[in-house]
Chain A
Amino acid sequence: RTRLVAAAAPEQIEEKVAESIKEAEETCSENPVSGECAAAWDEVEELSAAASHARDRKKESDPLESFCKDNPETDECRTYDN
């Protein structure tokens, strides 16, 4: 059985966050009160939020739990209600 894996790896987003921060700093050095500057920092916020959500999801996954999703019939995974 195949299992759906979250599409974007946290590392990938983290790289994007670092890039977007650099870009925002550059954009704002020209004009710190422009719409472009606000939009650039807004992108940073959006990516930071996405990165933090991805990190949470990764943290939550228990190795045994994810194994058992794919292999519920194995000895270590079998559970009976009664």
Chain B
Amino acid sequence: MAVSTVYTTQSFHSTCSISTPSKTHLGFNQKKQILFYNSGKKVTNRGIAAVPYVIRCSGDTLVIGLAADSGCGKSTFMRRLTSVFGGAAEPPKGGNPDSNTLISDTTTVICLDDYHSLDRTGRKEKGVTALDPRANDFDLMYEQVKAMKEGKAVDKPIYNHVTGLLDPPELIKPPKILVIEGLHPMFDQRVRDLLDFSIYLDISNEVKFAWKIQRDMAERGHSLESIKASIEARKPDFEAYIDPQKQYADAVIEVLPTQLIPGDNEGKILRVRLIMKEGVKYFNPVYLFDEGSTISWIPCGRKLTCSYPGIKFTYGPESYFGHEVSVLEMDGQFDRLDELIYVESHLSNLSTKFYGEVTQQMLKHSEFPGSNNGTGLFQTIVGLKIRDLYEQITASKAAAPLQATKA
């Protein structure tokens, strides 16, 4: 039996590669050797690594789906998520400047608008919106996501949001974590079955309206009427094709108007609910004080400064589309972000690496929208949960070949 020592990153098989993590934030320890055993002439990929190096073979890419309507904070969520994994997410270098893809060390985010089968003129002629399944190529979406999950690079089209045309494709290499974000990540059953984890951002109509006013009122040509008309016109398709996807999500972040101020519809103070499905493998829902109990908690007092209208947490088991779920709710907003540590210390199962990581992540991006309320808090928590999921899946895959060689 020959023993070969590998130092550099290289491929043995077309489908396998060894990657050296450049940073330690994912918890890998830095060792400098891997042993590969040759059985006969063929080099097998059953090498026993001391697991500092990740041996990536076909099927190692983790696929995460994020569904939300346009203008509902998908990009903020994406920036929080990629930040948990470390490193900044940037568009592919030297490619199409209007590319929707974001790439970081570990994560690649692709926008599902790139799978539009009809461009802007095509949709206008046929009288369909981008929300309509007829405007999207689910066969191509399935094929390409499947290929990337199997470790193959794909030539993905680019939908140009400025011109409304389908641009020439860009090459996307399979990342460690692939996030597909857009309107329909859970619409097609074949694509849905490829997802290792799925999230739905559910923004209530009142809040959506308030957010779009904030976003668009400065815009030329926009008025209250045009914003209202745009929401109303898209509503039938949204309710028919987008909204039903939330029943398949492993985690839903629901954003509602506050209940702390009676009759408030301004959308400034928010009641945010994190709905976590029970029984999902590698995903342990967060809980407050006591798992499975129903709890209402007002942290304001001597230890946490709150101005009007204060903060209220609620936690408890519920049923969501016939699934058993745990729901953590936060109503209100923080005045001082560093005091979030007080709340963090009462939450369990956060999948943090050290005490205070949630607070640290929130402080790191205090300028992002939602940093002083439940949207930022729950997005950060979901980010940590995804990191945990990734590490557990990677560990279980590394353990499987190890056991096979022992036997």
A16 to B215, CA, bound (A): 16
The answer to whether A44 touches B226, judged by C-beta atoms less than 8 angstroms apart, is: yes
Q: Is B130 an interface residue (CB 8 A)?
A: yes
Tell me, yes or no, whether A42 is within 8 Å of chain B by CB: yes
> Interface residue count for B (Cβ, 8 Å)?
33
Asked if residues A50 and B162 are in contact (CB atoms below 8 Å), the reply is yes
| Consensus secondary structure, chain B interface | loop
Interfacial residues of chain A within 48-73, with CB under 8 A of chain B in the complex: 48-53
CA distance A4 to B90 in the complex (A): 12
Alpha-carbon distance between A13 and B164 when the two chains are bound, in angstroms: 11
Contact check, A21 vs B222: say whether CB atoms are below 8 A apart.
Answer: yes
- A 5-63 contacts with B by CB, 8 A: 5-8, 12-19, 21-22, 24-25, 28, 34-53
Nearest CB on B from A76, distance (A): 22
Complex CA distance for A62 and B220, rounded to whole angstroms: 25
- Using a Cβ–Cβ cut-off of 8 Å, how many residues does chain A contribute to the interface with B? 38
Q: B70 within 8 Å of A by Cβ?
A: yes
B71 x A24 contact (CB < 8 A) = no
Instruction: Flag if A41 contacts B164 (CB, 8 Å).
Output: no
Nearest B residue to A35 via CB reads B127
- With a CB–CB cut-off of 8 A, which chain A residues contact B222? 17, 21, 48
- Once the chains bind, are B226 and A53 in contact (CB under 8 Å)? no
B94, B131, B229: which contacts A24 (Cβ < 8 A)? Answer: B229
- Measured CB to CB, the closest approach of chain B to A57, in angstroms, equals 10
Given contacts A21-B221, A42-B234, contact A48 B130 (CB under 8 A): no
Chain A residue at minimum C-beta to C-beta distance from B91:
A4
| Residues 218-249 of chain B, each 1 if its beta carbon lies under 8 Å from chain A, else 0 | 01111000100110011011000000000000
B-chain residues with CB within 8 Å of residue A19 when the two chains form the complex: 221
Contacts of B164 in A (CB 8 A): 43, 46
Q: Determine the chain B residues whose CB is within 8 A of the CB of A53 once the complex forms.
A: 75, 161
Residues A38 and B161 in contact, CB atoms below 8 Å apart: no
Judge whether B46 is part of the interface by a CB distance below 8 angstroms.
no
| Residue pair A41, B221 in contact (C-beta under 8 Å) | no
- Taking CB atoms, residues of chain A closer than 8 Å to B94 are 4
Interface centre among B93, B94, B126, B216 (most CB of A within 10 A): B216
Sampled A-B contacts (30; CB under 8 Å): A4-B93, A4-B94, A5-B97, A8-B162, A14-B220, A18-B221, A21-B226, A24-B229, A24-B230, A24-B233, A34-B127, A35-B129, A38-B233, A38-B236, A41-B234, A42-B130, A42-B230, A42-B234, A44-B226, A44-B230, A45-B70, A45-B234, A46-B164, A47-B161, A48-B222, A49-B70, A49-B71, A50-B161, A51-B219, A53-B161
For the complex with contacts A18-B221, A24-B230, 10 further pairs of A-B residues with Cβ separation under 8 Å are A7-B98, A8-B98, A24-B233, A38-B234, A42-B233, A43-B120, A46-B130, A47-B161, A49-B161, A52-B215
**Interchain residue pairs A-B with the least CB separation, the first 7:** A35-B127, A18-B221, A41-B233, A42-B129, A7-B97, A8-B162, A50-B161
Which of B's residues lie within 8 Å of A, judged by CB?
70-71, 75, 93-94, 97-98, 120, 123-124, 126-131, 161-162, 164, 212, 215-216, 219-222, 226, 229-230, 233-234, 236-237
A residues at B contact (CB < 8 Å): 4-8, 12-19, 21-22, 24-25, 28, 34-53
